[in-house]
């Protein structure tokens, strides 16, 4: 909207857009700015009449731009605007008026607020599946201003529609019900992926879905919760008023549905891992021991039937002896096993417990554990008889290898990374439609936060040890990505990283990456103004049981009146929250 004010601050004329923003044409002047009611953002401080930008422009002859305001329009609506005022001078350089430009950015700000709440919810997700989906379902209902929200699934084994999570559900709402006729059931079975019904009472669901008439539901928005081709259920929001759903609303519920899908996949693979571990454990526990008995004086031996079977032979298929036992050991392990046996027999070792690879009849190697002791001694203390039990450790070794490499968990991290990248792509597509550079930057900041989490999962996915990520490599990758992503002015940035070789769990890596993202992004945005080159130094090292992170740049520095404690910056709040989460200071 555009307005022209005379030298007394009286609004002489305004275009239709300006009148629409304010809800009416303000009757202002001379210099009676108290008719306007506004707060300056982000502080939300009430603006006094003489402190309006228009007053300063008229009185001082200065231009004031990008004044972010929350106004109470004359039609009673609250709006967020960007205000710009420019002085108009006569031939003698006296102020003869001002041009006022208002931009209504309420919609963009609401998008930013909703996105901020989504990011906060995703950052705070823990390990409890039910708590996580309850948080996501609740957020869907609140952000879309629904009457209630649900995450529903179809249990085909019991032929029931199950509500796994509810927000603001009526007290008599059925969490389990016959599925037939329900809009959620039909969407789960046959789609579409996004189901928007603006007027439920004019559709078949007015009579087929028992909840429509019972709770006077007027509109419905649902999004399938799916990963690849597997449909887990549907996230839906219902309205008791006829509601117009925007494309942004559909994208928002899609992002939240993807987050629930990631939780479903994590739960599924965790359960599969537990089941596999239990099966392997049962197999190992059910295996009977093989028995070896050695006559150390007469070079005679006894092998039990189970000993032969472990190696793929029929009982007594070859003559038992000390030499036969050694021959059945993998050549790479013979020296180690024989040395340990002789040390035990000679009294240099207190016990005999050894794992080695035995050679199966098929030529394959079989992991076994042999535990034994001398059962008989001569009168002068010389060992006479040695007895040992042999356990087939093959399945146990496979279980240990599975625990070490966590192949199933690796797949979880891979899919979580993919889902985060999907969310990032959705944000990227949305940001391309925006013309406001500030809002675009907010979207990019959100993408970078999600990218920092996805990169952590990517590093873990490619690691040999899935329990932890090597920090220095992660810092290098994330920092390089941020510099490439943000360096629009082609400033030559030198990156110096001094980091110990430290492996840390995802509980540390993800918050650490988000902290790095916020600080480095801030440096790239603000530190190198009007500079052709700059330097960012990052140090990360361990002192006792503490980690120390230091990030500095050689940029222009921060303003002297900047107060970190009172800052309302989202980035500062995120850093404070994550540092507290890590127990840092």
pLDDT band at 444 (very low <50, low <70, confident <90, very high): low
> Residue 471: which pLDDT band, with cuts at 50, 70 and 90?
confident
In this prediction, residue 161 carries a pLDDT of 96
pLDDT for res 224: 97
The residue-averaged pLDDT of 537-545 equals 88
Supply the mean pLDDT for the chain: 84
pLDDT of residue 281: 45
d(CA 263, CA 127): 9
Q: What is the C-alpha separation between 437 and 459, in angstroms, rounded?
A: 32
Residue-level pLDDT at 35:
66
Which of 315-319, 430-434, 580-584 has the highest mean predicted lDDT (pLDDT)?
315-319
Is residue 490 pLDDT above 50, yes or no? yes
Q: How many CA atoms lie within 13 A of 94 on its CB side?
A: 5
* Structural domains of the chain, ranges and CATH numbers in brackets: 2-104 (3.30.450.20), 110-280 (3.30.450.40), 291-392 (3.30.450.20), 437-581 (3.30.565.10)
Instruction: Note the pLDDT of residue 385.
Output: 92
Task: Tell me how far apart the alpha carbons of residues 161 and 505 are, in angstroms, rounded to a whole number.
Answer: 38
pLDDT, residue 481, reads: 77
Q: Which residue has better confidence, 397 or 376?
A: 376
The percent of residues above 90 in pLDDT, for the chain, comes to 41
Contacts 24+ apart (CB under 8 A), 112-120: 112/439, 112/442, 114/143, 114/252, 115/427, 115/442, 115/443, 115/446, 116/570, 117/142, 117/143, 118/143, 118/252, 118/255, 118/256, 119/446, 119/449, 119/450
Q: Kindly report, residue by residue over 120-175, the tens digit of the pLDDT.
A: 888 888 889 999 999 999 999 999 999 999 999 999 999 999 999 999 999 999 99
pLDDT at residue 430 in the model? 63
pLDDT value at residue 280: 44
Which pLDDT score, from 0 to 100, does residue 420 have?
53
Alpha helices in 23-154 (DSSP H): 53-60, 106-123, 129-143
For residue 35, what is the DSSP state?
G
Task: Compute the average pLDDT of residues 189-217.
Answer: 94
Q: Which of 235, 239, 237 is nearest to 256 (CA)?
A: 235
pLDDT the model gives residue 407: 52
Question: pLDDT above 70 covers what percent of the chain?
Answer: 83
Full strand arrangement of the beta sheet holding 11-14 = 11-14, 2-6, 95-104, 78-89, 64-72, 38-40, 45-46
**In this predicted model, which residue has the larger pLDDT, 422 or 26?**
26
pLDDT tens readout for residues 377-436: 998 889 999 999 898 888 777 777 666 655 544 554 455 555 555 555 665 666 666 666
Mean pLDDT of 58-76: 88
Per-residue CA distances from 581 to 354, 508, 510 (Å): 44, 9, 11
Q: Classify 63 as helix, strand or coil.
A: coil
Q: Concatenated DSSP letters for 204-220?
A: THHHHSHHHHHTT--EE
Statement: residue 201 has pLDDT above 80: yes
Higher pLDDT, 435 or 53: 53
46: alpha, beta or left? (left if phi > 0; alpha if psi -120 to 50): beta
For residue 192, cis peptide bond before it (omega within 30 degrees of 0): yes
Residue 331 pLDDT grade (very low, low, confident, very high; cuts 50, 70, 90) = very high
Q: Does 285 have pLDDT greater than 50? A: no
Q: What is the mean pLDDT of residues 331-353?
A: 92
Mean pLDDT on 53-71 = 90
From 193, 200, 196, 203, select the one nearest 247 (Cα to Cα).
Answer: 196
């Amino acid at each position: 909207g555009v307005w022209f004010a005379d030298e007394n601050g009286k609004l002489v004329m305004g275009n239709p857009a300006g009148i629409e923003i304010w809800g009416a044409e303000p009757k202002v002047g001379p210099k009676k700015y108290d008719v306007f009611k506004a707060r300056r953002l982000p502080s939300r401080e009430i603006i006094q009449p003489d402190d309006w930008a228009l007053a300063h422009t008229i009185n001082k002859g200065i231009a004031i731009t990008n004044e972010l305001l929350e106004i109470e329009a004359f039609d009673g609506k609250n709006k967020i605007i960007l205000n710009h005022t420019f002085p108009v001078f006569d031939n003698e350089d006296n102020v003869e008026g001002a041009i006022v430009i208002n931009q209504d950015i309420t919609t963009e700000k609401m998008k930013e607020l909703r996105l901020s709440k989504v990011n906060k919810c995703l950052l705070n997700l823990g390990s409890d599946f039910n708590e996580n989906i309850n948080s996501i379902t609740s957020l869907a209902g609140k952000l879309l201003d629904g009457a209630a929200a649900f995450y529903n699934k179809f249990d085909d084994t019991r032929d029931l529609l199950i509500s796994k999570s509810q927000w603001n559900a009526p007290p008599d709402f059925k969490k389990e019900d016959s599925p037939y006729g329900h809009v959620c059931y039909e969407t789960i079975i046959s789609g579409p992926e996004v189901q928007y019904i603006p007027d439920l009472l004019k559709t078949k669901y007015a009579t087929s879905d028992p909840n429509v008439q019972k709770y006077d539901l007027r509109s419905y928005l649902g999004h399938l919760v799916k990963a690849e081709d597997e449909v887990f259920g549907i996230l839906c929001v219902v309205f008791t008023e006829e509601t117009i759903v925007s494309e942004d609303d559909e994208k928002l519920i899609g992002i939240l549905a993807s987050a629930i899908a990631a939780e479903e996949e994590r739960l599924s693979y965790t359960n599969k891992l537990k089941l596999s571990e239990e099966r392997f454990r049962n197999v190992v526990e059910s295996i009977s021991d093989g028995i070896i008995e050695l006559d150390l004086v007469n070079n005679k031996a006894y092998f039990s039937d189970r000993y032969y079977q472990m190696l793929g032979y029929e009982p007594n298929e070859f003559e038992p002896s000390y030499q036969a036992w050694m021959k059945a050991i993998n050549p790479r392990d013979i020296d180690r096993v024989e040395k340990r046996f002789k040390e035990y027999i000679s009294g240099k070792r207190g016990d005999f417990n050894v794992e080695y690879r035995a050679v199966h009849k098929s030529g394959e190697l079989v992991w076994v554990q042999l535990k034994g002791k001398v059962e008989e001694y001569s009168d002068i203390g010389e060992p006479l008889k040695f007895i040992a039990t042999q356990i087939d450790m093959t399945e146990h070794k496979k279980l240990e290898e599975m625990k070490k490499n966590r192949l199933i968990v690796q797949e979880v991290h891979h899919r979580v990374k993919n889902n985060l990248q999907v969310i990032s792509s959705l944000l990227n597509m949305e940001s391309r439609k925006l013309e406001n550079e500030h809002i675009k930057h907010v979207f990019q900041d959100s993408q970078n936060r999600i990218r920092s989490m996805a990169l952590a999962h990517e590093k873990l996915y490619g690691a040999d040890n899935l329990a932890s990520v090597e920090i220095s490599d992660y810092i290098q990758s994330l920092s390089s990505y941020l510099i490439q992503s943000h360096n629009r002015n082609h400033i030559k940035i030198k990156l110096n990283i001094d980091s110990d070789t430290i492996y840390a769990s995802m509980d540390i890596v993800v918050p650490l990456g988000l902290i790095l993202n916020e600080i480095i992004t801030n440096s790239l945005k603000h530190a190198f103004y009007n500079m052709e080159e700059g330097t960012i130094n990052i140090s990360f090292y361990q002192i006792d049981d503490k980690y120390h992170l230091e990030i500095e740049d050689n940029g222009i520095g921060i303003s002297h009146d900047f107060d970190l404690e009172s800052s309302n910056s989202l980035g500062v709040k995120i850093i404070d929250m994550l540092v507290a989460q890590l127990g840092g200071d």
